[in-house]
Amino acid sequence: MPITRRNVLLFAAAVPTLTTIATIAHSATPTFYAEDGIAVDGTDVVAYFTQGQPVAGSPDLTYDWMGATWRFSTEENRTAFIDNPDSYAPQYGGYCAYAVSEGYTASTVPDAWTIVDDKLYLNFSLRVQRRWSRDIPGRIAKADANWPSVLN
């Protein structure tokens, strides 16, 4: 194809469309895992830190952050999250920490959780969590190296 002014203009006109398509394809996996738009299956992530266990959040106490709706069991927990969501949100976008350490993403369940160095990690299941727990520092190092490229 010869380089003409018309071809250059046609290409320039097509770039925004191509960029949009590439962005949609590139972001096929959302940054935060959310089933039906609800993060951590509706579990109050602040409660992991304050109560040491998963606690169901209320549909009446929510906050939208990073493309997901987060539920809370108390207004105090909701406020704490709003004030500093990065302190409470699970690592690796709420995807399974073990899976991310292996180079892929997987869903999680609220009961398979661990707090390490004031960070929340979730796993696909209790069985996978036991596997992840055999070498937590090593798994975190591998997952950190893979995140966020596993979203591609």
Domain finish residue from 42, 72, 87: 87
Q: Is the pLDDT of residue 37 over 50?
A: yes
Question: In this structure, are residues 57 and 80 in contact, taking their beta carbons and an 8 Å threshold?
Answer: no
Q: Which amino acid type is present at position 62?
A: T
pLDDT in tens, 9-29: 444 454 444 333 333 334 456
Cα–Cα distance measured from residue 71 to residue 43, given in angstroms and rounded to the nearest whole number: 6
pLDDT for the residue 120? 98
Query: Domain span at residue 74?
Result: 30-87
Q: Is the pLDDT of residue 8 over 50?
A: no
pLDDT for the residue 65? 96
> Quick one: average pLDDT of 56-66?
97
pLDDT for the residue 25? 38
- Same domain, yes or no: 50 and 100: no
- Same domain, yes or no: 111 and 99: yes
pLDDT for the residue 26? 40
Report helix, strand or coil for 100: helix
Cα–Cα distance measured from residue 25 to residue 11, given in angstroms and rounded to the nearest whole number: 20
User: In the chain, how many domains are there?
Assistant: 2
Question: In this structure, are residues 125 and 51 in contact, taking their beta carbons and an 8 Å threshold?
Answer: no
pLDDT for the residue 89? 98
pLDDT for the residue 30? 75
Whether residue 10 lies inside any domain: the answer is no
Look at 148 and 21; give whichever has higher pLDDT: 148
Whether residue 100 lies inside any domain: the answer is yes
